[in-house]
Structure 1
C-alpha cells in the first residue's frame, strides 16, 4: 500500500514506544492527527505520559497489539523475531525502523535539522525556544516545555538529527545546522573517515540552506554556500552572571548586538549563535533575542539538581571534548558561587568509546577537578573489556566505587554495598550517558 503523508487518522503502531526517540515520534505524529498505539517491555515515564494522552499501550509486547494499523514503526533495538514484527508481516502491515520512518515523517515538512558530535541537543532546544510556533523533536527533554517534543501541528519543525546511525541523512533538511563534525560513532562508518565526512557532505548538500561552525577542522575545508560562524571572530565580550543561582551567558554576536542565554561557557555562546544565525532570515533580531530567553536548559545538560551547601549537577557529557567543556562551565559556576571544591563523578560510557578516546579521557580531568570518583563502565550492551582503570588514571588518585546514592542533601559513595565516603559540600558534577542520572537523583 502507499502511505499517505498528511498523517490525519493514519493508524500507526510503535514498538519500543518507551524510548525517548520513538516516544518523540509518537507524540509528534499524534499532534499531526495520526492515531497512535504502542508497546514496550516495561512501563516508564514516556509510556505513562502517552497513556495520559489517551494512547493505548501494550505491556509487554503482544501480537494482540496489532489490529488494523496502517503502519508499524520500531526502535533500533527491536529484533526481526519480535512477536509484533512477525504479526505485522502476517497481517501485511508495512514495518519501518525509526531510521526508515524519518524520511516518511519528515518528507513533506520544512525541517531545521541540527546535527554534530557535541551540542546538538542544546542547539536544537535553543532553536525551538526561538521558534515557539514550530513543532520540535529533540533528543532530550527541554525545561521550557518539559518534553522532548513540542506537540503542535505545523509545517515547520526543529529536529535533532542523529549522525550515530546515519539517520540524519533521512531528515530532509530545509536548513542544515552543524555544530561540529568531530569523529564519533565510527563503528557506523566502518572506522573510515572518508565515509564519515562524506555523510556530512551529503547531509549539507541536501539542504536548501546551511549554518555551520567553520572553526571545526573539517567544516572549515568545505566550499559551500552557507551561513558561516567563526566563534573567535564573530562572538565577542562573553560574560557570565548568576540570577537566582541560575547560570546565564551574555555575549555579542557580529553586528547584531547583545544576547543572553541560559547556561555557562563559550560552547553555550557558540550553540546559541548558530541558532540565532539560522533563525535570522525568519524572524527579526529582537524577536529572536526575546524568544531565546525562554530557553531554560535541558535535562541532563548542566542540570542543576540541588543548590546549597552541596550543589549537585547532572551532565550527559560522555566524550572528552564534552567533559572538558562541562568542567570549564562548572569552574565558572564555582567561582561565582564561591564554592571552591569541584568533585567529579564519572561513569565511563561504553568500552569502545573509552578505548577509542583514551588519551583524551586521561587529559580531560587535568583542570577544574579537585576530586575524581570513577564508577564502573556503563556497558550499553557491549561485552566487558578488562581495562586497568587504576593504572590509567592513577595521576588523579581517584576513588573507585560501585555506585552512588543520594541521601537527603548528601551523596553516598558505595563499594560492595558499604558506604565508604559521603559528599556533603562543594560542587559535585556527575558525568555520563548511562544510569548515573538516576543514581544522582536517588532513583536507583
Structure 2
C-alpha cells in the first residue's frame, strides 16, 4: 500500500534552472491555480506567480520554493516563457499586454489542465455539485488501493495536506464547468456527477449564457472521454452521456452498473453494500453524513475498481476519509454543540447539507451566507425552500464576490419566503458579532451548527469553535 504521508512538491533531482521553461501563474493564491503550480514544479518546470493579496496558500507555496509576488505588474513577465491566466482576466490586463508584446505565450488555465489530462491515464470529474469531494475520494481510494494517483483538487485534502498529489499512477482532476473551456478537454474516464443550472447567465467572462449551452458542454466533455461513469440517480445524465464510447453508471437506481444498496445511516455517516452489475463487491462506509456522500463514495470505489484497485483497501481508506476543506468540515465544538463548515451555496447543495445535518439527530442550526447577487436573484425561492428543513436559520448579507449589487436583491428575500412558508426559526442577522454572541448564549450539546456558503462565512465557524482561521 502506498505511504499516505504528503510528498514534497520538489522532485529529488531538478534540472538546471536555465534549461527549464519558466511558467508564471496569475492568481496563484487561488485554490486551483496553486495546485497547478505544485504540479508544474513537480514536473521540473520553473514556476512563479502573483496575486492581489498574500494568503495562507501563497505563504505555503513560498515555503515550497515557489516565488510569489504580491500585486500585478507587467515586469512579472520578464524572462517568462508561458503566462498562465484565467479566461476571466481581461484581455487588456497590463500583464497580458506585456506578455504578448514580449512574445510570451499566454495559456488559459483550462489548456494547461488539458495537457495534464493527456499526459497519462486520467480521470476527469465533472458536474454541477460534488466535484471536489468526489475527486478527493477517488484520489484517496486509489491511494489506499496502492494505485499511486496524481491529483488536482479544488480543496485541501487532509490525507495529502494539499490540493495536489504527486504520483506515478492515474491523474485524477476536478474539472470546473464554470470555465467554458472545460468542454474542449479530453480524458480517459469522465465521472459525471450531475447537471444543473449553476454558473449560468450574467456578465461573468467564463459563465454560460444558457443552461442548455452548459449541458451541451457537459455532453461534449463526456463524449470525448474513452468512457463515462455517470450518476444513474440524476435525471438526464444518461441522455447527456449518449455520445460516449463506453457508458457505465453508478447510483442507488436499479440497473446501475455500480450500485449502493442496503444503506444504513447513522449520526456520523453511512454504511452500505456495493454491487457491481448485481454481484456484491463488498461493504463500504463513508464517514460523512448525507446520501450525496454515499454517491460520491460509490463513484470513487467504482473508479478504483475500473483501474484494478483492491476494493477492500479502497473501502478502508474511504471509511477513514473526513472530507476536503470546507466540505462538511468538522471544526470543533461550542458548549457541546458540533460546529461544521460547508461550502454549500446553491439550492441543491444547501438541501444536501441540511439533510446531512438532520442525519446526525441533532437540532440543526444553520448560519447561511447567500453568494452573489445574480445567483441569489436566480434562485432565492429555491434557497429558501432548501433551508426549510433546518430547525433554525440565521441569514447573513449576500457575499458580493466582486459583483455589483442588483436593486431589490437582498438576503431578506430568503428569510421572508421562509417565514411566509411557516418557518418560525429564521432570522436576518447581518451583524456577525450578534450571531456569535447569540449562538454562544444558546448553543447546547444537542445542537449542530453549520456555517454554510461560498463566501467568508467559514470564519464564523472558527470563531464559534475557538480555533484559529
Q: Distance in 1 between matches of 2:186 and 2:20?
A: 23
User: Is 1:319 aligned with 2:330?
Assistant: no
Q: Distance in 1 between matches of 2:263 and 2:118?
A: 39
Q: How far did residue 70 of structure 1 move?
A: 1.3
Query: What is the aligned partner in structure 2 of residue 394 from structure 1?
Result: 419
Query: What is the aligned partner in structure 1 of residue 316 from structure 2?
Result: 290
User: Paired residue for 1:253, among 269, 274, 279?
Assistant: 274
8 Å CA contact 2:365, 2:448 repeated in 1: yes
User: Paired residue for 1:209, among 205, 227, 238?
Assistant: 227
Query: What is the aligned partner in structure 1 of residue 264 from structure 2?
Result: 239
Query: What is the aligned partner in structure 2 of residue 275 from structure 1?
Result: 300
User: Is 1:365 aligned with 2:416?
Assistant: no
- Bigger shift: residues 286-295 or 62-71: 286-295
- Bigger shift: residues 60-69 or 36-45: 60-69
CA spacing shift, 1:128–1:294, aligned 2, 3 Å: farther
Counting only pairs closer than 5 Å after superposition, residues 25-64 of structure 1 correspond to structure 2 as 25-64=36-75
Q: Distance in 1 between matches of 2:141 and 2:387?
A: 34
- The superposition leaves residues 83-138 of structure 1 with CA deviations (integer Å, 9 ceiling, x where unpaired) of 32232223211112223332334332322000111111111000010222111111
TM-score of the two chains, using structure 1 as the length reference: 0.87
- Bigger shift: residues 282-291 or 47-56: 282-291
Q: How far did residue 168 of structure 1 move?
A: 2.6
Counting matched residue pairs gives 418
- Bigger shift: residues 247-256 or 221-230: 221-230
Structure 2 runs not aligned, ≥5 long: 1-14, 202-206
- Bigger shift: residues 181-190 or 11-20: 181-190
TM-score of the two chains, using structure 2 as the length reference: 0.83
CA spacing shift, 1:189–1:78, aligned 2, 3 Å: closer
- The superposition leaves residues 42-90 of structure 1 with CA deviations (integer Å, 9 ceiling, x where unpaired) of 1111110110011122122223322322111023443333332232223
Q: Distance in 2 between matches of 1:14 and 1:423?
A: 46
Counting only pairs closer than 5 Å after superposition, residues 104-119 of structure 1 correspond to structure 2 as 104-119=115-130
CA spacing shift, 1:236–1:192, aligned 2, 3 Å: closer
Q: CA RMSD in A?
A: 2.4
Q: How far did residue 179 of structure 1 move?
A: 0.8
Q: Distance in 2 between matches of 1:313 and 1:122?
A: 16
Query: What is the aligned partner in structure 2 of residue 175 from structure 1?
Result: 189
CA spacing shift, 1:412–1:147, aligned 2, 3 Å: farther
- The superposition leaves residues 373-407 of structure 1 with CA deviations (integer Å, 9 ceiling, x where unpaired) of 1000111222212235253332334221224259x
8 Å CA contact 2:23, 2:81 repeated in 1: yes
- Bigger shift: residues 345-354 or 162-171: 162-171
Query: What is the aligned partner in structure 1 of residue 159 from structure 2?
Result: 144
Q: How far did residue 423 of structure 1 move?
A: 4.2
Query: What is the aligned partner in structure 2 of residue 72 from structure 1?
Result: 83
- The superposition leaves residues 222-268 of structure 1 with CA deviations (integer Å, 9 ceiling, x where unpaired) of 545312124133211212346xxxx3321101111101222112111
